[in-house]
Amino acid sequence: MASPEPSAHGAEKLDDDDVIPQPSSRSPTLPGTSLLLSPTDLLILAASFYPLTLIAGSVFSACSPSPASADSHFSRKRNPFNVFFVKYGWLWTTLVFLIHASRLRSSSKARALLRYAVATIWWVLVTRWFFGPPIMDQLFLATRGKCQPADPDPMHAEEEVGTAQMIFTSAACKVAGGKWSGGHDLSGHVFLLTHASLFLWSELLPTLIHSGTAGRESAGVSWSEIFPILIRSAAARRENAGGLALLVLWWWMLLMTGVYFHTWLEKATGWIAGIAQWAVLYVWALRSHPTVRSIFGVPGI
Task: Please state, in angstroms and rounded to a whole number, the distance separating the CA atoms of residues 134 and 128.
Answer: 5
- DSSP SS3 for 182: coil
Among 108, 139, 120, 135, smallest CA distance to 296 is for: 108
262 is catalytic: yes
How far is the CA of 69 from the CAs of 63, 196, 245, in angstroms? 11, 28, 26
156 is catalytic: no
Among 9, 189, 195, 210, the active-site one is 189
How far is the CA of 228 from the CAs of 39, 76, 202, 209, 235, in angstroms? 16, 35, 19, 10, 10
Among 81, 72, 98, 126, smallest CA distance to 248 is for: 81
Q: How many CA atoms lie within 13 A of 236 on its CB side?
A: 16
User: Which of the residues are catalytic?
Assistant: 189, 262
